[in-house]
């Protein structure tokens, strides 16, 4: 019986290598020290399974040499360096290791928190490096009775919360995508008002990095904070606007900051390095012996399971080869996932149910439709921790009811699919179809009939149907240096209208605030697909 070849492209803990080497059905090639050009051109063509980390890009060149690969394991959480679409088209399953470094990230957050309040690194350097004994220079503050605001209450944020409770802190959680009960069951306060977080003594952030969270703490938010606030970021670079953070640290508005992640890494010449009120580490969130061992063991076991066809744990994509499905199905799967993601971005609220309704022959694939829709919905709140394998489990874990319905086709379309998202703030319904084999279109949002491609930076402006609104919306967008790429309008029978505006460029908070202030505005939201 021929062995299955597993190539380890980057360095992992020896425990993972041992696990692979001791399996009689696996031929291990440890190529971590090989030049990348040799790895890709000479070693990858012989691989059945590949284990990668951040040092190896799974890009077009890599995939061109991956004819024999059936699965890739990313030994870590992030998959920014993996061409997911390219892998899917080639039938390659991509897996990650999303939870192995959870405790390491939690404890690093607490390390920065304690270092900031007691100025530990500076007192240490003053004594050890400068040989100066000046106790009076290093008065800190206590965590007890301080209010800490936690942005993002998932695996890491919730654990930071329980540890903060142990320090007798007043803990406040903010996460619009989780039910308040998750915090309340831990005896932690919960808020839906972001302004409450800005009023805390200490703020720490634990969210995925996406268009909603990048720069979510900027100059305006910092201005609303208490003087002497402490900010912590051990999650993703860019969640705090670095220029605004630098200004706040320099003028004293921010007393201390603890930073492990940066916009651009390595950050060896970052201006933060010149400040004496910030504790800095070089992206050490996963850097514990236990974490690295866990990552290596989990990644290697996933590689073995995939090699033997046993299972594909934490699969992030669903490989679909063109000849395995009718031609008309794949665009609908992509469409329903986009519609799910769109509905979650518009509502930005805790979800109680996801309903998928099909009409037409596409109903034969309702189960897949449900999976793709659920992945799309949950991607907004938990990022790459959601995948096609665990979508149903994660939905149940969050008490989200996924409902699928196949109905008779009473429409004028060959096939039609609808998503209804029920949240704590109401229900949103989005319908779509596919024209000419692959042209995906959204044809209805709630009671508004439209025809728009689900793509790009999209503003959803609901207003009273009065004269001059379209012109004012267009002018407001132009005043914010954005070009309108598409503008579609739908009207209902209640004298209301919905404008969907696609713009070239990023949608700013100031633009959304300006649109919301218009007298005719009922609601305004935005999304990116």
Choose the catalytic residue: 13, 74, 206, 236.
236
Select which of 11, 90, 283, 398 is catalytic. Answer: 283
Does domain 102-280 bear CATH number 3.40.50.720?
A: yes
What lies within 8 Å, CB to CB, of 81 at 6+ separation is: 52, 54, 56, 57, 58, 59
Phi, psi for residue 140 in degrees, rounded to 5: -110, -160
Fold match, 4-100+290-307 / 102-280: yes
For residues 417 and 332, the answer to whether their CB atoms sit within 8 Å is yes
| pLDDT tens track, the chain, 529 positions | 589 999 999 999 999 999 999 999 999 999 999 999 999 999 999 999 999 998 899 999 999 999 999 999 999 887 878 998 888 878 899 999 988 899 999 999 999 999 999 999 999 999 999 999 989 889 999 999 999 999 999 989 999 999 999 999 999 999 998 889 999 999 999 999 999 999 999 999 999 888 789 999 999 999 999 999 999 999 999 999 999 999 999 999 999 999 999 999 899 999 999 999 999 999 999 899 999 999 999 999 999 998 988 878 788 886 554 446 677 888 899 899 999 999 999 998 999 999 999 999 999 999 889 989 998 999 888 876 777 767 887 888 889 999 999 999 998 899 999 999 999 889 999 999 999 878 999 999 999 999 999 999 999 999 998 889 999 999 999 999 999 999 999 998 888 999 999 999 989 989 999 999 999 999 999 998 8
User: Which residue out of 168, 265, 290, 324 is catalytically annotated?
Assistant: 265
Question: What are the structure tokens assigned to 98, written together?
Answer: 């999303």
CATH topology of domain 4-100+290-307: Rossmann fold (3.40.50)
Look up residue 4 and give its two tokens. 């299955």
The CATH class, in words, for 457-529 is alpha beta
Nearest to 177 by CA among 208, 202, 147, 200: 208
Rounded to an integer, what distance in angstroms lies between the CA atom of residue 268 and that of residue 168?
36
- The CA-CA-CA angle for residues 99, 105, 109, to 5°, reads 150
- Residue 124 annotated as catalytic: no
d(C-alpha 192, C-alpha 516), whole Å: 19
Name the DSSP letter for residue 217. Answer: B
User: Which string of DSSP letters, residue by residue, matches 271-331?
Assistant: GGGG-SSEEE-SS-TT-SHHHHHHHHHHHHHHHHHHHTTS--TTB------GGGS-TTHHH
Strand partners, 110: none
Residue ranges covered by each domain of the chain: 4-100+290-307, 102-280, 325-446, 457-529
Identify the CA nearest to 245 among candidates 206, 272, 212, 283: 272
CATH of the domain spanning 325-446: 3.30.1330.90
| 265 labelled catalytic | yes
The DSSP letter of residue 440 is E
Catalytic residue check, 283: yes
């Amino acid at each position: 019986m021929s062995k299955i070849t597993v190539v380890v492209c980057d360095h992992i803990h020896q425990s993972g290598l041992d696990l692979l080497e001791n399996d009689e059905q696996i031929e291990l090639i440890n190529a971590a020290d090989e030049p990348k050009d040799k790895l890709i051109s000479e070693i990858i063509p012989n691989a059945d399974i590949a284990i990668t980390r951040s040092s190896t890009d799974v890009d077009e060149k890599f995939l061109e040499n991956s004819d024999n690969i059936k699965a890739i394991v990313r030994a870590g959480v992030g998959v920014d360096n993996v061409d997911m679409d390219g892998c899917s088209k080639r039938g390659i399953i991509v897996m990650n290791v999303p939870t192995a470094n959870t405790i390491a990230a939690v404890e690093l957050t607490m390390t920065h928190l304690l270092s900031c309040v007691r100025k530990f690194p500076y007192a240490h350097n003053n004594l050890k490096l400068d040989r100066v004994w000046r106790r009076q220079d290093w008065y800190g503050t206590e965590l007890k009775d301080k209010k800490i605001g936690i942005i993002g209450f998932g695996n890491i944020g919730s654990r930071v919360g329980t540890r903060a409770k142990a320090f007798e802190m007043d803990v406040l959680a903010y996460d619009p995508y989780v039910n308040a009960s998750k915090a309340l069951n831990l005896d932690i306060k919960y808020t839906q008002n972001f302004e409450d977080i800005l009023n805390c003594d200490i703020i720490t952030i634990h969210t995925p990095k996406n268009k909603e969270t990048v720069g979510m703490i900027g100059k305006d938010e910092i201005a609303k904070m208490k003087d002497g606030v402490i900010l912590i970021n051990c999650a993703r670079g860019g969640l705090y606007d670095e220029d605004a953070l630098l200004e706040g640290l320099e003028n004293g508005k921010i007393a201390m900051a603890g930073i492990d992640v940066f916009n651009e890494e390595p950050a060896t010449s970052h201006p933060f390095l010149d400040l004496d009120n910030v504790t800095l580490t070089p992206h050490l969130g996963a850097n514990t012996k236990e974490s690295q061992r866990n990552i290596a063991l989990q990644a290697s076991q996933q590689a073995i399971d995939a090699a033997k066809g046993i299972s594909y744990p934490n699969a992030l994509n669903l490989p679909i080869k063109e000849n395995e499905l009718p031609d008309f199905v794949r665009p609908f799967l992509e469409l329903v996932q986009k519609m799910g993601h769109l509905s979650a971005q518009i509502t930005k609220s805790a979800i109680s149910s996801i309903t998928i309704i099909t009409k037409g022959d596409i109903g034969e694939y309702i189960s897949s439709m449900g999976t793709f829709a659920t992945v799309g919905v949950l991607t907004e709140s938990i990022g790459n921790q959601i995948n096609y394998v665990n979508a149903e489990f994660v939905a149940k874990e969050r008490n989200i009811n996924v409902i699928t319905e196949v109905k008779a086709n009473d429409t004028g379309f060959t096939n039609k699919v609808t998503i209804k998202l029920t949240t704590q703030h109401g229900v949103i319904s989005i319908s779509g179809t596919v024209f000419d084999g692959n042209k995906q279109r959204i044809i209805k949002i709630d009671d508004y009939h439209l025809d728009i491609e689900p793509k790009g930076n999209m503003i959803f402006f609901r207003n009273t149907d009065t004269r001059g609104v379209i012109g004012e919306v267009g002018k407001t967008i132009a005043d914010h240096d954005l070009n309108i790429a598409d503008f579609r309008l739908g009207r209902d029978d209640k004298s209301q209208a919905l404008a969907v505006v696609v713009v070239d460029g990023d949608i700013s908070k100031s633009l959304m605030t300006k649109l919301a202030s218009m007298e005719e505005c009922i609601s305004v939201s935005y999304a990116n697909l």
